[in-house]
Amino acid sequence: MKVLIVDDSSFIRSFLCALLEAHSLQCVNAENGKMALDALAASGPFDLALVDVNMPVMNGLELVKVLRRLPEYSAMKIVMVTTEADHAYIEAALAAGADEYLMKPFDEESLFEKIHMVGLARA
């Protein structure tokens, strides 16, 4: 499975990638939504995108809205991974087209539960 990790925190990108690669998943990282679109154009398709909400240049909600308008990314599962706990953020993410929402901080089990919840096989 190929996963796009989109987060402005290098620590979170590294942490997620380490968890996923330990399960033989392939990771590509991007610091913001614009870089994610560039990564998709260069390395797509992806099975899953793990996307932070708050990022510079293009935030996660903007990225999800763009992705959901493009037919070539309609099958890609999107999980928002963020510190935003307010119910309004969760509703906005799901309305934008995210498939699930994972709160930071999280552990490996929670991450893989969300991956399974969106219909992707647990590695």
Chain segment 51-82, per-residue pLDDT in tens: 999 899 999 999 999 999 999 998 999 999 98
CA-only gyration radius of the chain, Å: 13
Q: Is residue 122 part of a domain?
A: no
pTM score: 0.93
Q: Is residue 23 part of a domain?
A: yes
Convert the pLDDT of each residue in 94-120 to its tens digit: 999 999 999 989 999 999 999 999 999
Q: Is residue 103 part of a domain?
A: yes
Mean of pLDDT over the chain = 92
In which region does residue 24 sit, left (phi positive, over 0), alpha (psi from -120 to 50) or beta (all else)? left
Q: Is residue 28 part of a domain?
A: yes
- Domain around 54: 2-117
Query: Which CATH number characterizes residue 65's domain?
Result: 3.40.50.2300
Rounded Cα distance, 21 and 108, in Å: 12
Q: Is residue 82 part of a domain?
A: yes
Structurally, how many domains does the chain consist of? 1
For residues 112 and 90, the answer to whether their CB atoms sit within 8 Å is no
